[in-house]
Amino acid sequence: MSTSKPAVLALEDGSVFRGAAFGADATIAGECVFNTSMTGYQEILTDPSYFGQIVTMTAPQIGNYGINAEDEEAAAPKCSGFVVREVSPVVSNWRSTMSLDAYLKKYGIPGISEVDTRALTKKLRVDGAMKSCLSTLPLSDEEAVRRARAWSDMAGSDYVKDVSCTEPFIWRGDDASRYNAQYLPVGTTGGTTHTPARKFKVAAFDFGAKYTIYRKLVRHGFEVHVFPAKTTAAQIRAHGVDGVFLSNGPGDPAALPYIHQTVTALLPEFPIFGICLGHQMITHALGGTTFKLKFGHRGGNQPVKNLETGKVSITAQNHGFATDPKSLEKSGAIVTEINLNDQTVEGLRHKELPVFSVQYHPEAAPGPNDADPLFEDFYKLVEKRKAGRI
């Protein structure tokens, strides 16, 4: 990979970062954000929640273990652009099938390296996530800034329609192409999950779901029926499901009234588990509100405290909006978890209905597995409802 070709990253405040181009030859605009994960760049690139965003990695070197088909969280990268300090000149891993540079070229995603990502991250922390332009083509600083400022704001945007599936389908755990087999390093038993013999049929709304979410649901005893975001409550009822799962996804949660209405209708009828955008959909369905965070939570090292148990978990997160806790006071829900960095809402449950949600990503792709028991909690909740105990 040549590092002599120039690239530019411009922010709406007029800041310009010059660096070396890699990936595709393209000029794009989007919201510039940063991710603090030390590894897992392929899962980050293919996370549909990054649709419309230019992702900056704070880890200093990216690309050292290449790309492989098993670690993809979607069929193709979903972010708009990629910013790193250094692209590893060597790809060394037995699972790798191509380099990061070749992967981004294949899918038309531009990248910029040799950028002071510490300075960029500090700017985004102090001033907030910004509209930006990334170009690996000849482009003046002035034009790059102009294109950054011309990009539409993330607030008010419905990006779910761009990443949701178009037709319902069943996520088959026995389909090798779905990579449902757990990966275990030789000689270890880490990450093993006991799959219950009894299966429950769950309707999983695809707002931009990551593949590992479906994998985890399958491993924890669910037959996963995936539905597009615009599926109605009546269509869900017609499928005779035992529970409802609400996935992660991109964009502004307040800009999705059609989903709010569907979830509102389903709340009294099914056990419901929501994560990330799904958590925010439950917030709105209960009459609550959300707001845009200054720079969001993105990374595999976010500390969360459960207010009911006192337990602290390290979680994987990717979101730019959060629930307003005051808006939940008359909703019948209570806040169950908070972020220990900024005390924002990380979880809620309804006082009477079998409904709960978390703001983070319990599927941990990439990230720690502290929150894996939440899938077991959802299974037990469905089991109790089927037995008539709730």
Catalytic residue among 220, 319, 350, 361: 361
3-state secondary structure of 243: strand
CB neighbour list of residue 36: distance below 8 Å, 6 or more residues apart:
58, 59, 298, 299, 300, 301
- What stretches of 229-375 adopt beta strand conformation (E)? 243-246, 272-275, 290-306, 312-323, 333-339, 345-350, 355-358
Active site residue 361: yes
Rounded Cα gap, residues 201 and 145, in angstroms: 50
What DSSP string runs through 178-202? G--SPP--TT--TT--PPPSS-EEE
Closest CA to 272 of 207, 204, 175: 204
- How far is CA 107 from its chain centroid? 19
Using the structure block, give the residue that is written with the tokens 């109605």. 232
Of 354, 153, 351, nearest to 269 (Cα)? 354
86 is catalytic: no
Do residues 360 and 304 touch, judged by C-beta distance below 8 A? yes
Give the chain's radius of gyration (CA, Å).
21
Q: Which residues of 268-302 are buried (b: 16+ CB within 10 A; e: fewer)?
A: eebbbbbbbbbbbbbbbbbebebebbebbbbbbeb
Residue 350 near residue 356, CB atoms below 8 Å:
yes
Do 91 and 118 form a contact (C-beta atoms < 8 A)?
no
Nearest to 129 by CA among 285, 12, 249: 12
Instruction: Give the C-alpha separation, 181 to 188, whole Å.
Output: 15
CA dihedral 368, 125, 340, 348 (to 10 degrees): -80
Q: Tokens in use for 345?
A: 């809402």
Spot the catalytic one: 79, 220, 276, 337: 276
Residues labelled catalytic: 276, 361, 363
